[in-house]
Structure formats: structure tokens, C-alpha cells
Amino acid sequence: MRLLVKGGRVIDPEAGLDDVLDILIENGKIICVGRGISPQAQTSGGSEVEVEVEVVDASGKIVTPGLIDMHVHLREPGREDEETIETGTAAAAAGGFTSIACMPNTSPPLDTGASVEAVRARAARAGVVNVFPVGAITKGLAGEELAETGELRDAGVVGLSDDGRSVMNAEVMRRAMEYARMFDLPIIPHCEDTNLTAGGVMNEGYMSTVLGLKGMSRVAEEVMVARDIILAELTGARLHITHVSTAGSVQLIRDAKRRGVRVTADATPHHFTLTDEAVRGYDTNTKMNPPLRTREDVEAIRRGLADGTIDAIASDHAPHTFEEKDVEYDNAPFGIVGLETSLPLALTELVGGGYLSLAELVKRMWSNPARILGLMARKAGIVAGADADLTIIDVEKEFIVDVNEFRSLSRNSPFGGRRLKGQAFATIVGGRVVFRR
Amino acid sequence: MRLKSKDVLGLEDLSVEEIELILQTAEPCKQIFTRDIKKLPTLRGKTMVNLFYEPSTRTRTSFELAGKWMSADVTNIATASSSVVKGESLKDTARTLEALGANIIVIRHQMAGAPHVIARCVKASVINAGDGMHEHPTQGLLDLFTIREHKGRIAGLKVVIVGDILHSRVAKSNIWGLTKLGAEVTVCGPPTLIPQGIERMGVEVEYNLDVALRDADVVNILRIQLERQKKGLFPTIREYSRLYGVDAKRLRIAKPDALIMHPGPATLGVEITADVAESARSVIRKQVTNGVAVRMALLYLLSGGGASSEIAG
């Protein structure tokens, strides 16, 4: 069985491709990229052989290497009422992602080889896209003792994080970085000084004052970003700062990169789109951690993405049930879903807003995450021999977000009703069309 | 003229005209205090529910009397303040009250935005009687009414609000109301009790009370709670009192006819001395009385009342 993706504008910035080309796929691998490819195979003797071919007409569309969301909460095991590996990966496919990295704050957490293997086994059976687990930094995500990192590595984790919780003890973080270094795994900290944010539910500033909600200061993030950069400098570990939300953090990362620290970063679509003004009305779908910040921070993140200070876009997809979110603001859990709005928001706000070219966007959503997570050997882009993971994008498609159409089990998005331009048209994983609009 | 919204959730949402309408309507309502029979037929057949998730004596009683004097049927529901009340049960409660025929729901809740949750799910009018650190609109209105009653105007007055601005919903409602009506507002307290970005609400911030009090027409003193000290927001009650306690000596800095206000309950000897609280300039008791009048006016307007001739008659 072959698959021919025909007539799309193929953009692979790493291979230097931006042209109308065909892509021929066989046995899950790209076998040929070029103009006017005949789906029929050439034998070694040069004669054509009849084989079954599925053709995907990509004319008028953009074809990119399969996008990667490096920060997703799949909730399985433990909270299958919020999301499962099956529904979360279906949402990823609908959002144009062919690979996702899932965070370890499940129940039980991914702090042992066995729990990581269980998620991978489940994903192999029920997953629609590739799932790469991130392992815990510390046992039980408690921030005290290191998890068995060697075993986690052998079980296939692509990074280490206690996401959702901050490793508050600097000594523990220092040892985690030193230890992770021998496995060349990135440390992906959730940067929050929880003494500074205790009880907080939104950004601290004018809006928290007006709304009477307890604020979370930007400096709570920035002191930890600064600390972890300093520790990375000391230990030589690879540090990846996830969900950067403040102008101060962007500047700290920019300065560190200039000094040659091994630091990378990602930001979420909600942090480059919305401000804390959205909290007006107390819609709990505007409650996430880190919280929505101010116009100045949004602009700094956009500029950080534009100049490469921020390497990647990641959704921090955090599903919660309607009942959990349908409460007073203080009582609602943090987090919003993002897999199915991430690419449209990036296209609308960043490409449409003139911050990123399509080629640069592809770097932020494919090759940079792939490099950070050590996936570049397999997810090598649109070249012969690479895994046939492709995203086909209709950049002209205008639509209004309808949360009831989400494949995710949860609908906790602040973007319902928002008009966006550009979305995934089809998603191909390992040579199989797993989603088509 | 009528109020635009079915609910009163905060003074931020009210226009100058709406605030003026409420204050004007409160004037005839106040006259009822001098009558032998304190009863108007205006809200006959209407049901009002006081839903209080936080302990309150004066606000709840004030609403209750306002409703009763307007001939509404009034029910009080007090919920244990210690139990964590989840939104679903909050919504359930509101919908149940509506099913029981409530026309007006007065809610006090420890969490900001709780009245908004209720207002969205019922057709009844919702009045915010204080939600977390957000707003306490009827307190703001009664303070405006009291100031105007004594000073004849709001515009151009210098009003100082002293104390725990950070946690105070009273301060927020006062700031919105006063600035909309043209007063110059200064908030004063230690930096740890002044919230971020408050200047954008149109107020001056002054940490030194002796400076803040210069030429003040009105001094509104907020209650300081001991639990704030335990959270490390200031060193001791003694130090707080030394820096921000209002006594007769310090008050000489303000204008000689400056009004002394306090939303209550006051901790005498801490944020305000007893002699100041009981002095001729103090309108603390009048605030309480005016609270009933303002709430009567609000109930009247939310029940579809327009011109206030009905009340005066």
C-alpha cells in the first residue's frame, strides 16, 4: 500500500524545501519527494509495477513535516473522565499533530519504568498519533527524591518534568540536572515559586485588583527561570523552560542563550493570544497556570517567538470536565484544552500577525521540538527515509471555533466562538491518514 | 429612567446616571425612618432571599429590614462559612430558590465572582452583598449617600481611604463610585496592603497617613484583621496602629469638618480610637441607617420601579 500526497506546497525549512511537490510514501516511510511523481513503483529493472495507491490531493494546501506538541496532559491513567490516550491523540490528529509529548502528572505518575511502559503500550494500541512520554524528575512529583532516571530513559522517556508542580528545592533541582546530563535528557521545569503564588488564581496586577481575585506575580515565574538557568549553567544540563508567560522570562532566556547556556523554551497559544482582561466575567476557562498575563507580556512572547528566543509552540493541553470548571473561579482547576486550537491560533496570530513566516512556524512546531526531545533521527522531515508523518494545512480556511466539535473529551477552552484562519486539513502518521477534514 | 441590568454586581458596572438614580431614590426611602409605621406596599407579593455564605450582622439585617419595610416576603439562608461550597451546589441553590419563587436574591460569598455565577443562571435579580475581595456595591452606595448628605456634593471632595486596601471590597466599591462622581481619592496603608495597579483605578497612593490626611474632607477607615498580620503583611497590630491608627491628634491634619466613616465592625483602639469613632464628626451610625435606605431604593428599582414618587407618597 502506497500513499501519494499530490500537488501541495511542501515546506520543510530544514531541508530547504518550499515548492509544489509530490510525496510518495510506502511502509510508513517517505520514499520519494519530487515533481510529478508517478505512484507506480519502478522496479530495479526500470519497469513499472502495479501497486495499490491512495492519493491525497493536497493542491492549494501546505504540506509540512508532522507537527509536534511537546506539552500535553493525556490524563490516562487516573482521570479518564477528563481525557484518555485515545481521545487525546484523536484531538491531536484533528489539530494537525502527528506526535505529542505527554506529561507525567497522571495517577499514578510516570515516575517508574513500568508506568511509562504502560502508557506507551496503551498508546501503541489506542493512540491515533505518536505518544512520547515525559518522565518525572522526582518520585511522586514530590520534589524531594530523584526518580529512577536511568530506568525511565530505558522505558523511552524523551524528557524529565514534574510539570504542574515546581521543584522548589534548589539542591534537588541541581542534582536532577547533574544526573539527567549523563542521559542527555532535557529537564523541563514548571517554573513557579509557590511561596510567591500561594492561593493565587490569576495574574497579579490591575485586573486581579479590579476583580478581587488573588494574584500570582510574574516574578514567581521569573525567579525560578533565573534559578534554573543558573543551575543549568553550573551543571551543563539541557534545560527546556516550558509555558513561558512573562516578558521578564523571555529576556532571561534571551540573555542566557547569548551566554551559551543550553536552554530552550516554549510558549502556549493562549499566552501569545490572550491577556488577563479575559478573566473579566470570571469565566473559569481563563484560569490556567501560569496565568494569562498583560498586553506587554503577550507582545514579548510574540517577539521571543519571532527572534527564536522561544524555540517552540506547545499547547499545555489540560483537559478538565465541565463539572470541575463550572464553579467559582477560586474553586476551578487550572488548565485549558489546546490541541485543536493551537495550530489555528499560531496561523492566525503569529503568521497572520506578521511575526512568523510559515517556514519559521514549522520550525517552532516541528523541528525545534523534535530536536529538544531527541526525535530528529526518526522525525526527520520531508526527506526520503524519514517517518511518513505529515501535516496538511489549509491556511485559507476561516472558521469559528466550536468546542462541541472537539475530539477531546473536554471542552474547557476560552476560544469557543472565536474566528480563526487556517487549520489542519489532514494528518498523516506513519503513512496512514489518521485525520481528514 | 431605570437600571440597565437585572442585577447589581458592582459599582464598576453602573453608570454615573444609574448611581445618581439610586441615590435620589434613597432620599424618600430615608424619610420612612421618621414615621411611626415603617411600611410601604411597594414590594408586596415579591419574594427576597438573603443567601449569606459568610457571617454578617449589619448587612444581612439591613437588607432584611429594607425588604420588610417595602412589604416583600424575606427569607434568610445562612450557610456555614467553614464548609467549602462548590459552584454546582451554589448554582443548585440559586436555581432552587428561583423555583421557590424568589424575585430577588441577595448574596454574600467569600469568593469573588460568586454572584456572577448565580446571576448568569437565574432570571431573578441578584444583588451582590459582598464577594471576596471584589466589591460590596451597596456599601459603596451608602457611603456615597452619607457623604453627599453631609457635604452636599461628591465632586471635588478629597476622600482618604485608610487601611487594608488589598483585601477590601468596600474600598473597591468606594473607589469606583467616588471617582465616577468626581471625588479625589487617596488610598493609604502599608505597601503590603496596597494592591498592584490600583493607581489605574484613578486613585492616589500614599503610604504616610499624615501626608494623606492633609486637606481631607472625608476619612474612611477600614477594619484591619489580625489574620493579615499572621500572614506577614505587617509586623504587629501595635505597629499598624502606630502608623495607621486614626486618633484625635492625627485627625487635626484633616479639614476641621472632615467626616469620619467606617464600614464596621470597628476594632476600637486599633484602626480608630473610641473618641474619634464617637466624635461629632463621625457618621458611622448614620452609615448604618442610610444603608437601609439605599437598599430599599435598590430593591425598588430592581423590581421595576422608575420615578420615586411612589415611595414619597
What CATH number corresponds to the domain at position A248? 3.20.20.140
Q: Does residue A364 fall inside a structural domain? A: yes
Q: Does residue A377 fall inside a structural domain? A: no
Q: Give the residue ranges of chain B where pLDDT is below 70.
A: 80-88, 306-313
Do A89 and A14 share a structural domain?
A: no
CA distances from A272 to A94, A197, A320, A348, A418 (A): 21, 22, 22, 11, 15
The pLDDT assigned to B309 comes to 58
The pLDDT assigned to B119 comes to 96
Residues of chain B positioned with their CB less than 8 A from the CB of A327: 86-88, 90, 117
- Domain boundary, last residue among A341, A372, A403: A372
Do A280 and A254 share a structural domain?
A: yes
Do A95 and A128 share a structural domain?
A: yes
Q: Please name the residue of chain A whose CA is at the shortest distance from the CA of residue B175.
A: A210
Do A151 and A290 share a structural domain?
A: yes
Give how far A205 is from chain B: nearest CA, Å: 5
Interface of A with B (CB under 8 A): 204-215, 217, 281-282, 323, 326-332
Q: Please name the residue of chain A whose CA is at the shortest distance from the CA of residue B134.
A: A212
Do A31 and A86 share a structural domain?
A: no
Q: Please name the residue of chain A whose CA is at the shortest distance from the CA of residue B173.
A: A210
Do A156 and A53 share a structural domain?
A: no
Do A243 and A118 share a structural domain?
A: yes
Q: Of B134, B139, B175, B192, which to mutate for an interface test with A (greatest number of A Cβ within 10 Å)?
A: B134
Q: Does residue A381 fall inside a structural domain? A: no
- Domain boundary, last residue among A316, A347, A372: A372
Q: Does residue A302 fall inside a structural domain? A: yes
Residues of chain B positioned with their CB less than 8 A from the CB of A331: 84, 86-87, 111
> Which three cell numbers mark A327?
464553579
Do A397 and A367 share a structural domain?
A: no
Do A406 and A296 share a structural domain?
A: no
Return the C-alpha torsion angle B43, B44, B47, B52, nearest 10. Answer: 50
Do A79 and A12 share a structural domain?
A: no
Do A280 and A188 share a structural domain?
A: yes
Q: Looking at chain B, how many residues does it have? A: 313
CATH number for the domain spanning A18: value is 2.30.40.10
Contact A326 B133 (CB under 8 A): no
Q: Does residue A380 fall inside a structural domain? A: no
CA distances from A217 to A220, A273, B233 (A): 6, 19, 16
Contact B113 A214 (CB under 8 A): no
The pLDDT assigned to A46 comes to 60
pLDDT in tens, chain A (437 residues): 899 999 999 999 999 999 999 999 999 999 999 999 987 755 555 666 677 899 999 999 999 999 999 999 999 999 999 999 999 999 999 999 999 999 999 999 999 999 999 999 999 999 999 999 999 999 999 999 999 999 999 999 999 999 999 999 999 999 999 999 999 999 999 999 999 999 999 999 999 999 999 999 999 999 999 999 999 999 999 999 999 999 999 999 999 999 999 999 999 999 999 999 999 999 999 999 999 999 999 999 999 999 999 999 999 999 999 999 998 999 999 999 999 999 999 999 999 999 999 999 999 999 999 999 999 999 999 999 999 999 999 999 999 999 999 999 999 999 999 999 999 999 999 999 999 99
Contacts of B61 (CB under 8 A, 6+ apart): none
**What contacts 24+ positions apart, CB below 8 Å, involve B58-62?**
B58/B264, B58/B265, B58/B288, B58/B291, B59/B108, B59/B129, B59/B130, B59/B136, B59/B138, B59/B139, B59/B291, B60/B108, B60/B129, B62/B138, B62/B288, B62/B291, B62/B292, B62/B295
How many structural domains is chain A composed of?
A: 2
- Domain boundary, last residue among A316, A339, A372: A372
Contacts of A305 (CB under 8 A, 6+ apart): A267, A272, A313, A350, A355, A356, A364
Q: Does residue A133 fall inside a structural domain? A: yes
The pLDDT assigned to B230 comes to 79
The pLDDT assigned to B82 comes to 37
Give how far B87 is from chain A: nearest CA, Å: 4
Residues of chain B positioned with their CB less than 8 A from the CB of A281: 116
The pLDDT assigned to B257 comes to 96
The shortest CB-CB distance from B86 to any of A204, A214, A331 is to A331
Do A323 and A416 share a structural domain?
A: no
Element (H, E) at A189: none
Contact B112 A282 (CB under 8 A): yes
pLDDT per position as a tens digit, B21-39 = 999 999 999 998 888 888 8
Domain residues for the domain of A131 are: 67-372
Q: Does residue A379 fall inside a structural domain? A: no
What pTM, to 2 d.p., does this model score? 0.94
Q: Does residue A169 fall inside a structural domain? A: yes
Q: Provide the ipTM.
A: 0.93
Q: Please name the residue of chain B whose CA is at the shortest distance from the CA of residue A216.
A: B196
